[in-house]
Chains A and B, each alone.
Chain A
Amino acid sequence: MENFTPLSALAGGALIGISVTMLLLFNGRVAGVSGILNGVFFAPKNDRLWRWLFLLGLVLGALLFHTGLPEFNMPRQHYPLPLLVIGGFLVGFGARLANGCISGHGVCGLANLSLRSLVATCAFMLSGMLTVYVIRHVLEIAA
Protein backbone atom coordinates (compact mmCIF):
# COMPACT_ATOMS: atom_id res chain seq x y z
CA MET A 1 0.00 0.00 0.00
CA GLU A 2 1.22 3.48 -0.88
CA ASN A 3 0.41 6.91 0.53
CA PHE A 4 -2.67 5.71 2.37
CA THR A 5 -4.56 8.82 3.55
CA PRO A 6 -7.86 7.70 5.11
CA LEU A 7 -8.53 10.84 7.18
CA SER A 8 -8.20 13.47 4.45
CA ALA A 9 -10.12 11.09 2.16
CA LEU A 10 -12.97 10.81 4.70
CA ALA A 11 -13.04 14.59 5.27
CA GLY A 12 -13.02 15.35 1.53
CA GLY A 13 -15.71 12.72 1.00
CA ALA A 14 -17.88 14.27 3.70
CA LEU A 15 -17.60 17.66 1.94
CA ILE A 16 -18.74 16.02 -1.30
CA GLY A 17 -21.68 14.55 0.64
CA ILE A 18 -22.56 18.03 1.94
CA SER A 19 -22.30 19.50 -1.56
CA VAL A 20 -24.66 16.95 -3.16
CA THR A 21 -27.05 17.38 -0.22
CA MET A 22 -27.21 21.16 -0.74
CA LEU A 23 -27.89 20.91 -4.45
CA LEU A 24 -30.69 18.39 -3.94
CA LEU A 25 -32.23 19.97 -0.85
CA PHE A 26 -32.33 23.57 -2.14
CA ASN A 27 -32.43 23.18 -5.93
CA GLY A 28 -33.84 19.68 -6.43
CA ARG A 29 -30.93 18.75 -8.70
CA VAL A 30 -28.60 15.77 -8.73
CA ALA A 31 -24.94 16.79 -8.48
CA GLY A 32 -23.72 14.48 -11.23
CA VAL A 33 -20.85 16.28 -12.89
CA SER A 34 -21.12 14.55 -16.30
CA GLY A 35 -24.84 15.37 -16.47
CA ILE A 36 -24.23 18.98 -15.43
CA LEU A 37 -21.42 19.40 -17.97
CA ASN A 38 -23.43 17.76 -20.75
CA GLY A 39 -26.36 20.09 -20.00
CA VAL A 40 -24.16 23.12 -20.64
CA PHE A 41 -24.47 22.18 -24.33
CA PHE A 42 -27.72 20.24 -24.54
CA ALA A 43 -30.08 21.45 -21.78
CA PRO A 44 -32.76 24.09 -22.51
CA LYS A 45 -31.27 27.62 -22.58
CA ASN A 46 -32.91 28.69 -19.29
CA ASP A 47 -31.44 25.63 -17.54
CA ARG A 48 -27.80 26.40 -18.24
CA LEU A 49 -26.64 29.23 -15.96
CA TRP A 50 -26.67 27.21 -12.71
CA ARG A 51 -24.65 24.53 -14.49
CA TRP A 52 -21.93 27.00 -15.44
CA LEU A 53 -21.92 28.30 -11.85
CA PHE A 54 -21.59 24.82 -10.36
CA LEU A 55 -18.68 24.03 -12.71
CA LEU A 56 -17.08 27.41 -11.94
CA GLY A 57 -17.44 26.56 -8.25
CA LEU A 58 -15.59 23.26 -8.78
CA VAL A 59 -12.68 25.14 -10.34
CA LEU A 60 -12.72 27.88 -7.67
CA GLY A 61 -12.83 25.39 -4.77
CA ALA A 62 -9.76 23.57 -6.11
CA LEU A 63 -8.01 26.85 -6.98
CA LEU A 64 -8.63 28.27 -3.51
CA PHE A 65 -6.98 25.32 -1.78
CA HIS A 66 -4.27 24.97 -4.42
CA THR A 67 -3.20 28.56 -3.70
CA GLY A 68 -2.90 27.80 0.02
CA LEU A 69 -1.44 24.28 -0.32
CA PRO A 70 0.39 24.20 -3.66
CA GLU A 71 2.32 21.00 -2.83
CA PHE A 72 -0.74 18.97 -1.80
CA ASN A 73 -1.85 18.05 -5.33
CA MET A 74 0.79 18.65 -7.98
CA PRO A 75 -0.59 18.41 -11.53
CA ARG A 76 0.67 15.30 -13.29
CA GLN A 77 2.92 15.86 -16.28
CA HIS A 78 4.31 13.80 -19.16
CA TYR A 79 1.41 11.32 -19.15
CA PRO A 80 0.94 9.78 -22.64
CA LEU A 81 -1.29 12.12 -24.64
CA PRO A 82 -3.04 9.35 -26.65
CA LEU A 83 -4.22 7.75 -23.40
CA LEU A 84 -5.72 11.09 -22.28
CA VAL A 85 -7.42 11.80 -25.59
CA ILE A 86 -8.90 8.32 -26.12
CA GLY A 87 -9.62 7.82 -22.41
CA GLY A 88 -11.33 11.21 -22.15
CA PHE A 89 -13.54 10.40 -25.11
CA LEU A 90 -14.52 7.06 -23.54
CA VAL A 91 -15.27 8.76 -20.20
CA GLY A 92 -17.60 11.25 -21.90
CA PHE A 93 -19.28 8.73 -24.19
CA GLY A 94 -19.63 6.07 -21.48
CA ALA A 95 -21.04 8.55 -18.95
CA ARG A 96 -23.80 9.54 -21.39
CA LEU A 97 -24.58 5.94 -22.27
CA ALA A 98 -24.82 5.00 -18.57
CA ASN A 99 -26.56 8.32 -17.80
CA GLY A 100 -24.13 9.23 -15.03
CA CYS A 101 -20.59 9.06 -13.71
CA ILE A 102 -18.96 8.55 -10.31
CA SER A 103 -20.72 11.54 -8.73
CA GLY A 104 -24.14 10.85 -10.26
CA HIS A 105 -24.24 7.08 -9.80
CA GLY A 106 -21.51 6.41 -7.22
CA VAL A 107 -22.56 9.13 -4.77
CA CYS A 108 -26.06 10.50 -5.50
CA GLY A 109 -27.52 7.31 -6.96
CA LEU A 110 -26.17 5.03 -4.24
CA ALA A 111 -27.33 7.50 -1.56
CA ASN A 112 -30.77 7.33 -3.17
CA LEU A 113 -30.61 3.50 -2.96
CA SER A 114 -30.87 3.09 -6.74
CA LEU A 115 -30.17 -0.41 -8.05
CA ARG A 116 -29.20 1.04 -11.46
CA SER A 117 -26.54 3.13 -9.77
CA LEU A 118 -25.19 0.13 -7.87
CA VAL A 119 -24.84 -1.78 -11.15
CA ALA A 120 -23.19 1.22 -12.86
CA THR A 121 -20.77 1.74 -9.96
CA CYS A 122 -19.74 -1.94 -9.99
CA ALA A 123 -19.25 -1.71 -13.78
CA PHE A 124 -16.97 1.40 -13.46
CA MET A 125 -14.91 -0.15 -10.71
CA LEU A 126 -14.40 -3.57 -12.30
CA SER A 127 -13.68 -2.20 -15.75
CA GLY A 128 -11.39 0.51 -14.30
CA MET A 129 -9.41 -2.06 -12.32
CA LEU A 130 -9.11 -4.37 -15.31
CA THR A 131 -7.95 -1.49 -17.53
CA VAL A 132 -5.28 -0.39 -15.03
CA TYR A 133 -4.12 -4.00 -14.76
CA VAL A 134 -3.73 -4.24 -18.54
CA ILE A 135 -2.04 -0.84 -18.87
CA ARG A 136 0.37 -1.19 -15.95
CA HIS A 137 1.07 -4.91 -15.74
CA VAL A 138 0.44 -6.36 -19.20
CA LEU A 139 1.38 -3.54 -21.60
CA GLU A 140 3.60 -1.93 -18.94
CA ILE A 141 2.96 1.65 -20.04
CA ALA A 142 2.42 4.67 -17.79
CA ALA A 143 3.30 2.88 -14.54
Chain B
Amino acid sequence: MKTNLIALLSGVIFGIGLFLSQMINPNKVLNFLDIAGHFDPSLIFVMVGALSVAMVSFKWIRKLSVPLFGDNFQLAKKTIIDRPLIIGGCVFGVGWGMTGYCPGPVVAGLGLFSVESVVMVVAICVGFFAYNALFERNN
Protein backbone atom coordinates (compact mmCIF):
# COMPACT_ATOMS: atom_id res chain seq x y z
CA MET B 1 0.00 0.00 0.00
CA LYS B 2 2.68 2.48 1.06
CA THR B 3 4.86 1.62 -1.95
CA ASN B 4 1.88 2.11 -4.27
CA LEU B 5 1.23 5.57 -2.87
CA ILE B 6 4.90 6.48 -3.28
CA ALA B 7 4.79 5.28 -6.90
CA LEU B 8 1.74 7.46 -7.60
CA LEU B 9 3.21 10.51 -5.87
CA SER B 10 6.58 10.03 -7.54
CA GLY B 11 4.78 9.88 -10.90
CA VAL B 12 2.82 13.08 -10.18
CA ILE B 13 6.01 14.98 -9.25
CA PHE B 14 7.78 13.61 -12.34
CA GLY B 15 4.85 14.72 -14.51
CA ILE B 16 4.88 18.23 -13.03
CA GLY B 17 8.66 18.36 -13.61
CA LEU B 18 8.25 17.40 -17.27
CA PHE B 19 5.50 20.02 -17.65
CA LEU B 20 7.37 22.84 -15.92
CA SER B 21 10.66 22.13 -17.70
CA GLN B 22 8.69 21.92 -21.00
CA MET B 23 10.39 18.64 -21.79
CA ILE B 24 6.78 17.63 -22.55
CA ASN B 25 6.86 19.97 -25.56
CA PRO B 26 8.33 17.98 -28.48
CA ASN B 27 9.24 21.09 -30.48
CA LYS B 28 11.34 22.34 -27.58
CA VAL B 29 13.11 18.99 -27.48
CA LEU B 30 13.72 19.13 -31.25
CA ASN B 31 15.12 22.66 -30.90
CA PHE B 32 17.48 21.37 -28.21
CA LEU B 33 18.73 18.71 -30.62
CA ASP B 34 18.92 21.22 -33.51
CA ILE B 35 22.40 22.57 -32.82
CA ALA B 36 22.73 23.80 -36.41
CA GLY B 37 19.40 25.67 -36.43
CA HIS B 38 16.91 26.82 -33.77
CA PHE B 39 19.15 25.67 -30.90
CA ASP B 40 17.52 26.04 -27.47
CA PRO B 41 19.87 24.83 -24.69
CA SER B 42 17.14 24.82 -22.00
CA LEU B 43 17.00 21.05 -21.73
CA ILE B 44 20.62 20.93 -20.56
CA PHE B 45 19.30 22.74 -17.50
CA VAL B 46 16.68 20.01 -16.96
CA MET B 47 19.50 17.48 -16.76
CA VAL B 48 21.53 19.78 -14.49
CA GLY B 49 18.53 20.29 -12.18
CA ALA B 50 17.67 16.59 -12.02
CA LEU B 51 21.26 15.43 -11.58
CA SER B 52 22.18 17.98 -8.94
CA VAL B 53 19.40 16.54 -6.76
CA ALA B 54 19.79 12.87 -7.70
CA MET B 55 23.59 12.66 -7.56
CA VAL B 56 23.57 13.83 -3.95
CA SER B 57 20.56 11.74 -2.89
CA PHE B 58 21.73 8.56 -4.65
CA LYS B 59 25.09 8.82 -2.90
CA TRP B 60 23.26 8.59 0.44
CA ILE B 61 20.74 5.99 -0.70
CA ARG B 62 23.58 3.70 -1.83
CA LYS B 63 24.63 3.41 1.83
CA LEU B 64 21.30 1.76 2.75
CA SER B 65 20.99 -2.02 2.53
CA VAL B 66 17.21 -1.96 1.96
CA PRO B 67 14.83 0.80 0.81
CA LEU B 68 12.59 2.42 3.46
CA PHE B 69 9.35 0.68 2.38
CA GLY B 70 10.27 -1.87 -0.31
CA ASP B 71 11.92 -5.28 0.10
CA ASN B 72 15.10 -4.69 -1.87
CA PHE B 73 16.86 -2.40 -4.32
CA GLN B 74 16.38 -3.44 -7.95
CA LEU B 75 19.16 -1.83 -9.94
CA ALA B 76 20.64 -2.72 -13.32
CA LYS B 77 23.34 -5.34 -12.77
CA LYS B 78 25.15 -5.12 -16.09
CA THR B 79 28.34 -3.09 -16.12
CA ILE B 80 29.92 -3.97 -19.46
CA ILE B 81 29.64 -1.66 -22.45
CA ASP B 82 28.24 -4.01 -25.10
CA ARG B 83 26.92 -3.70 -28.62
CA PRO B 84 23.19 -3.76 -27.73
CA LEU B 85 23.75 -0.77 -25.41
CA ILE B 86 25.37 1.34 -28.14
CA ILE B 87 23.10 0.20 -30.99
CA GLY B 88 20.01 0.57 -28.78
CA GLY B 89 21.09 4.05 -27.71
CA CYS B 90 21.58 5.10 -31.34
CA VAL B 91 18.26 3.58 -32.49
CA PHE B 92 16.51 5.33 -29.60
CA GLY B 93 18.19 8.61 -30.58
CA VAL B 94 16.93 8.32 -34.17
CA GLY B 95 13.35 7.88 -32.90
CA TRP B 96 13.82 10.72 -30.42
CA GLY B 97 15.13 13.02 -33.16
CA MET B 98 12.33 12.03 -35.57
CA THR B 99 9.59 12.87 -33.06
CA GLY B 100 10.92 15.00 -30.18
CA TYR B 101 9.49 12.48 -27.72
CA CYS B 102 11.07 10.10 -25.25
CA PRO B 103 8.91 7.76 -23.10
CA GLY B 104 8.37 10.02 -20.05
CA PRO B 105 7.00 13.03 -21.95
CA VAL B 106 4.93 10.72 -24.18
CA VAL B 107 3.02 9.34 -21.19
CA ALA B 108 2.77 12.72 -19.47
CA GLY B 109 1.57 14.21 -22.77
CA LEU B 110 -1.65 12.19 -22.41
CA GLY B 111 -2.47 14.69 -19.64
CA LEU B 112 -2.35 17.51 -22.23
CA PHE B 113 -4.88 15.56 -24.35
CA SER B 114 -2.20 15.35 -27.03
CA VAL B 115 -3.26 13.09 -29.91
CA GLU B 116 0.41 12.58 -30.79
CA SER B 117 0.98 11.08 -27.36
CA VAL B 118 -1.64 8.41 -28.01
CA VAL B 119 -0.01 7.51 -31.33
CA MET B 120 3.44 7.47 -29.71
CA VAL B 121 2.43 5.34 -26.72
CA VAL B 122 1.02 2.70 -29.07
CA ALA B 123 4.09 2.84 -31.37
CA ILE B 124 6.49 2.57 -28.41
CA CYS B 125 4.62 -0.44 -27.02
CA VAL B 126 4.74 -2.09 -30.45
CA GLY B 127 8.52 -1.53 -30.27
CA PHE B 128 8.58 -3.28 -26.85
CA PHE B 129 6.63 -6.26 -28.18
CA ALA B 130 8.86 -6.50 -31.26
CA TYR B 131 11.94 -6.52 -29.03
CA ASN B 132 10.45 -9.19 -26.76
CA ALA B 133 9.37 -11.34 -29.71
CA LEU B 134 12.86 -11.13 -31.24
CA PHE B 135 15.13 -11.43 -28.21
CA GLU B 136 13.44 -12.51 -25.01
CA ARG B 137 12.19 -15.87 -26.35
CA ASN B 138 15.77 -17.04 -26.81
CA ASN B 139 16.78 -16.34 -23.22
Contacts and interface: CB of A to CB of B under 8 A. Distances in A.
B58 A112 contact: yes
Interface in B76-105: 76, 78-81, 84-104
Contacts of A112: 58, 62, 75
Given A57-B10, A73-B24, A102-B104, A12 B17 contact: yes
B84 A97 contact: yes
Contacts of B79: 114-116
B11 A128 contact: no
A53 B11 CA distance: 7
A126 to B, nearest CB: 7
B98 to A, nearest CB: 3
B94 A61 contact: no
12 contacts: A9-B45, A16-B49, A21-B57, A33-B103, A54-B7, A79-B26, A89-B95, A90-B98, A90-B127, A92-B103, A98-B84, A102-B104
Interface of A: 1-6, 8-31, 33-34, 37-38, 41-42, 49-51, 53-66, 72-77, 79, 81, 83-103, 105-116, 119-133, 135-137, 143
Interface of B: 2-4, 6-28, 30-31, 33-55, 57-58, 61-62, 64, 66-76, 78-81, 84-104, 106-117, 119-132, 135-136
